[in-house]
Amino acid sequence: MSIVAPRVALFGHSDRERLADALSSRIVRAELTRRLARAQITTFAPDGWRRPSRYDAGEPAEPWGPWSSDDLARFSSEFDVAVIEAGAISTAPVSALRDAGVEILEAPDALALAARIVAAEVLARRLAYLHWVSWFPSLRPVRCFDVRLGADREALAVAVAAAAADRVAVAVIEPDPADTPLGASGRLARALAEAGVAFTVAQGSTGVEDLVAMLATADRYVGPSVGAAAVAEGYGRGARPIDGARVDSTDRSFDDLARQVRAATLARSGVVDAVAALTSALDASEARLASALKAKADLEQRLYEERLIATETRFGYEAGVESVVAELAVEIRSREERIADLALRQRRLAGRMVARFGVDPRDPPDEAAAAAADSAPVEPGR
């Protein structure tokens, strides 16, 4: 029996092309996995794989609903708990799930941890790519403008004037393509050009990692995207860089959520079974630990012995080379005496054979006999 693995249904909006939704699902999943390594997390979204998004990291969600009573019963048997992302509280089928007996837990607003989801080396790689394709200015500093600024005349004027005054280059990004009004990009480009601000445009073909790389590098983000603002703040950019207290608070909230998921899982699986499973797992773990410790001790002993032998060999040679030479001299004398003895015995034997047969065995063999021996068939394998 193994420890019960939580079966978590995660409800969010990962099927939408909005950076905040994409980030939220990725962060909640990552933070739960970090705390509950064995958890089996299945992501749900309104349309799921029926409408996958380029922001979903290639892992489209399961669609949620419409569900029949049979579907809900099956859902209840397949999952221990449903975790609802902060942005999906009002849209997820909470009532139906609750009626089906599913325990509902709410995830904290995860965006405070947005700076954790892309590894530093990946950010560097994406930034190099963005420079290569000229979608991110090489000038420093750079400011990220949301393409939707082009739809708000007043905000656009303020942002462009500030960029000109601060002498920054601008990278125009599109974090929420689903919300971009037609023509916004053109208006924004014209305003920047008229103000003499250097800029690049990267709308339409940037993934989550690209956006995070740009936002992490820019001096600030200007625009309405909650997700883009969260990333910039997470990397300490702009007027409102995120403070450590908020990160710590969010971390604690995820600790709480993980505890609740664990508790809900244990409650569903039965406490006795769970305790038995834990005990069994602990026993197995202790046995593995004992075995590992013994193997380690054996290895250390062997290492010690090998070192000892090596040390003794080295120092023994240096210190005792004279005794070794003496021993060898004794052995050489012994072998010389043995050779002399054998020679004497051979001479005596030859004398006896000459006396008896008239043949000396030390004479060369008959040439014909020797030739016959050379041409004799050789056994295989010889």
Partner 1 sequence: MIEFPAVEGPDVTVVMVTHGARAWTARSLGRLADRTPPRYEVVVVDNASPDGTADWLASSAVGLRLVRNTTNLGFGPANNQGAALARGRHLCFLNSDAVVRPGWFEPLVERLDADPTVSAVAPVLYNLDGSVQEAGSVLYAGMETQPLHDPASRDVDYASAACLVVRRRGFEAVGGFDAAYGKAYYEDVDLCLALRAAGGRVVVEPRSHVTHAGGRSSPPARAIAMMQANRHIASKRWSSTVGLRPSLDSGER
Helix (H) or strand (E) run with residue 182 in it: none
Residue 206 binding partner 1, by CB under 8 A: yes
25 binds partner 1 (CB under 8 A): no
Judge whether 210 and 55 are in contact, CB under 8 Å: no
Q: For partner 1, give the closer residue by CB, 82 or 235.
A: 235
Q: How many residues bind partner 1 (CB under 8 A)?
A: 28
Asked whether the beta carbons of 259 and 276 are under 8 A apart, the reply is: no
Q: In the bound complex, what is the minimum distance in angstroms from residue 318's beta carbon to partner 1?
A: 35
- Report how far residue 145's alpha carbon sits from residue 202's, in angstroms, rounded to the nearest whole number: 11
Q: Judged by CB under 8 A, does residue 57 bind partner 1?
A: yes
- Phi and psi at residue 364, to the nearest 5°: -65, 150
Asked if 59 is part of the footprint of partner 1 (rule: CB under 8 A), the reply reads: yes
User: Does residue 115 interact with partner 1 by CB under 8 A?
Assistant: no
317 near partner 1, rule: CB under 8 A = no
User: Among 149, 210, 254, 268, which residue sits at the site for partner 1 (rule: CB under 8 A)?
Assistant: 210
d(CA 255, CA 250): 9
Query: Tokens in use for 182?
Result: 């037609």
Rounded CA separation 151/176 (Å): 14
- Helix/strand/coil for 270: coil
Question: Using CB under 8 A, which of 34, 38, 74, 125 touches partner 1?
Answer: 125
Q: Mark 37-56 with x for binding to partner 1 (rule: CB under 8 A) and - for no binding.
A: ------------xxxxxx-x
Could you tell me the smallest distance in angstroms from the CB atom of residue 15 to partner 1? 10
Least distance to partner 1, CB of residue 362, Å: 51
Residues linked to residue 8 through DSSP beta bridges, in sequence order: 41, 81
User: From the CB of 132, what's the least distance to partner 1, in Å?
Assistant: 4
CB of 99 to partner 1, least distance (A): 29
| Residue 34 near partner 1 by CB under 8 A | no
Residues between 186 and 205 with contacts to partner 1, criterion CB under 8 A: 204-205
CB of 131 to partner 1, least distance (A): 7
Q: Does 73 bind partner 1 (CB under 8 A)?
A: no
List the interface residues with partner 1, window 362-381 (CB under 8 A): none
Closer CB to partner 1, 123 or 242, in the complex: 123
Write down the least CB distance from residue 207 to partner 1, Å: 4
User: What phi and psi values does residue 63 have, to the nearest 5 degrees?
Assistant: -75, 145
- Interaction of residue 208 with partner 1, rule CB under 8 A: yes
Q: How far is the CB of 283 from partner 1 (least distance, A)?
A: 30
Out of 73, 128, 324, 370, which residue is the one contacting partner 1 (CB under 8 A)?
128
Interface residues with partner 1 (CB under 8 A)? 49-54, 56-60, 121-123, 125-126, 128-129, 131-133, 204-210
